């Protein structure tokens, strides 16, 4: 007895085809880069690199993400497009790493962490 869906019953559609159907010619450059990376590395690879779950990445590509899309854009630009910012403590830093430092709560566990927390509070790169 054969149970479950038939093998190869559904045609496989790439993320690029899905994005083209949703965004058309107005695909933002960062979405195009996320799509290219997801096609090459899969959702798991994009999840590890960008820091968002597979389902979130899929919904971002589909244009249905309900969260902070500006933060996602900055994370993609930093992680996949090598966009950097000037950190007052560390110097040139990837935008995604900058956002990660900003999101960390205060913890007096190390002098470096305390210095970063203080610097992030007054940094011109800080997201409001």
Of 17, 23, 33, nearest to 75 (Cα)? 33
Q: Rounded distance, CA 23 to CA 62, Å?
A: 8
**How do residues 56-89 score in pLDDT, each as one tens digit?**
999 999 999 999 999 999 999 999 999 999 999 9
6 secondary structure, DSSP code: P
For the question of whether the overall pTM of this predicted structure is more than 0.95, the answer is no
d(CA 76, CA 95): 9
Element at 48 (helix H, strand E): helix 29-50
DSSP state for residue 106 in the 8-state scheme: P
Q: pLDDT tens digit string along 81-128?
A: 999 999 999 999 999 999 999 999 998 889 999 999 999 999 998 987
Report in angstroms the alpha-carbon separations of 125 from 7, 49, 79, 121: 50, 21, 16, 10
């Amino acid at each position: 007895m054969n149970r479950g869906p038939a093998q190869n019953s559904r045609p496989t559609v790439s993320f690029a085809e899905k994005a083209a159907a949703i965004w058309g010619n107005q695909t933002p450059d960062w979405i195009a880069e996320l799509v290219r990376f997801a096609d090459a590395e899969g959702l798991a690879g994009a999840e590890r690199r960008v820091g968002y779950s597979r389902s979130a990445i899929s919904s971002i590509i589909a244009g249905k993400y309900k969260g902070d899309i500006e933060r996602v854009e900055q994370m993609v630009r930093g992680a996949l497009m090598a966009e950097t910012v000037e950190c007052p403590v560390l110097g040139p830093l990837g935008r995604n790493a900058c956002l990660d430092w900003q999101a960390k709560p205060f913890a007096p566990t190390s002098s470096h962490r305390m210095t970063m927390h203080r610097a992030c509070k007054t940094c011109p790169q800080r997201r409001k």
